[in-house]
Amino acid sequence: MTEISFVRDRFLTAEKPPVSESTALGWIHRNLFASWTDGALTLIAIAAIVYFLPPAIDWLFLSAVWSGPDRSVCLTVDQGGLLPSGWSGACWAYVNDRFIQFMFGSYPRDQLWRPLLVVAMFVALLIPMLLPKVPRKGLNAILLLIAFPIVAYVLLLGGYFGLSHVETPLWGGLMVTLILSFVGIAISLPAGILLALGRRSKMPIVRTFAITFIELIRGVPLITVLFMASVLLPLFLQPGNNIDKFLRALIGVSIFASAYMAEVIRGGLQAIPKGQYEAADALGLNYFQKMTFVVLPQAIKLVIPGIVNTFIGMFKDTSLVTIISMYDLLGIVKASFGDSGWITPVTPLTGLIFAGFVFWLFCFGMSRYSAFVERRLDTSHTR
């Protein structure tokens, strides 16, 4: 009897995965040289990187001067300095020397613990606010948005409790940038909610006012609003008033931010299904109960990414106060270019790269957080 059945008694050894799937060569083929045009693009990109990256790294780090007392360390021999002629590189010594000024402006050096304490309190209140798992968000928000500003106001400006009075023209640097954007957001949130509700109101006068205000402010550049606050505000107040310049900038920024915030919140209000409004009506809630307990909590949760984006925009836009001669981070960096102790050909570029990096760090951090919240709130079905 011949054996016609075949019974496999052992497994074949597994084949190696195809070269195109597993090796680095395969990855390069798939991702960099899939077609002729792809290959050409890759080569152009590599050429660009090779052309720009090493000089940039050299300028920023290798040739850079890291420490020194004055500008002579960043000047070449022909310019009256110490470095060989033809040298060019970042002058970090200058940033190093001016660092405290870039952070706090001309704030009295013996009082620096006050802004530092404010920063510590802010961080301590902000971090639990940002982490979704930490409970007691309501209390946290009240502390951050109501109690903290009062304490910070007293600490920074002084004049009470034996703290010496520090006038606002002495404030400057990153501190001013942060204060302007924090106050802007703290005022624009409630003002934006009111404006958004006004714009969706059925009362014609209220609606017309809200629409006019929002569209007028959104239609013009921030600079004109800042000019308005700094030039017209003293004109429109009691004769002989002497309204603080910093306060004027704060008002300008807040007005501007409120109009943008109103549009973000209106988007959230529109996204709430009609049934929610009707259900609240059916429960016998009046307008304010309906809004505070049913509609707004849902609407604001929906637009948190939009709010964060508005905040990023405002954080960047506060740099415009430089133009009405206030010294925020960018303003103070730019003002220091004229500082005779550090005038060199590389000072402006170094200072701007430093300021740009600080701005970038804050904005990038915020945009990452916004993306994280967006993913968390995203309830759509993705495969």
Partner 1 sequence: MAVADARTGSGDPPKVSLLYNPALRSYVYQAATLILIVWVIWYAWSNAAQNLARANMTTGFGFLNSRAGFDIAQSLIAYSADSTYFRALQVSLVNTLVVAACGIVTATIVGLLIGIGRLSPNWLVSRLCTVYVEIFRNIPPLLVIFFWYLGVLALLPSIRSIFQHVKDNPNAVFFISNRGIYMPAPIFGEGFGYVIAAFGVGVVAAIAYTAWANARQRATGQRPPVLNVNLALVLLLPLVVFALLGRPLSFDYPIPGSFNMRGGMVVAPEFLALYLALSLYTAAFIAEIVRAGIRGVPQGQSEASYALGLRAGLATRLVVLPQALRIIIPPLTSQYLNLIKNSSLAVAVGYADLVAVGGTILNQSGHSVEIIAIWMMVYVTISLVTSLFMNWFNAKMALVER
Q: What is the contact surface with partner 1 in residues (CB under 8 A)?
A: 31-32, 34, 38, 41-42, 45-46, 48-49, 202-206, 209, 215-216, 218-224, 227-228, 231-232, 234-239, 312, 316-317, 319-320, 322-323, 330, 334, 337, 345, 348-349, 352-353, 355-356, 359-360, 363-364, 367
Which one, 293 or 364, has the nearer CB to partner 1? 364
Which one, 69 or 284, has the nearer CB to partner 1? 284
Tell me the residue type at 316.
K
Which one, 38 or 70, has the nearer CB to partner 1? 38
Which one, 144 or 222, has the nearer CB to partner 1? 222
**Least distance between partner 1 and beta carbon 44 (Å):** 9
Query: How many other C-beta atoms are found inside a 10 Å radius of the C-beta of residue 175?
Result: 23
Which one, 41 or 377, has the nearer CB to partner 1? 41
**Least distance between partner 1 and beta carbon 203 (Å):** 5
**Least distance between partner 1 and beta carbon 314 (Å):** 11
Distance set, CA 202 to CA 32, 207, 208, 210 (Å)? 58, 7, 10, 12
Long-range contacts from 188-192, C-beta under 8 angstroms, 24+ separation = 188/254, 188/257, 188/258, 188/260, 188/261, 188/310, 188/314, 189/145, 189/261, 189/307, 191/254, 191/258, 191/261, 191/262, 192/257, 192/258, 192/259, 192/260, 192/261, 192/262, 192/264, 192/265
Of 217, 219, 218, 199, nearest in space to 209 by CA: 199
Tell me the residue type at 158.
G
**Least distance between partner 1 and beta carbon 42 (Å):** 5
Distance set, CA 19 to CA 26, 34, 163, 348 (Å)? 6, 15, 72, 52
**Least distance between partner 1 and beta carbon 57 (Å):** 15
Which one, 142 or 371, has the nearer CB to partner 1? 371
**Least distance between partner 1 and beta carbon 356 (Å):** 5
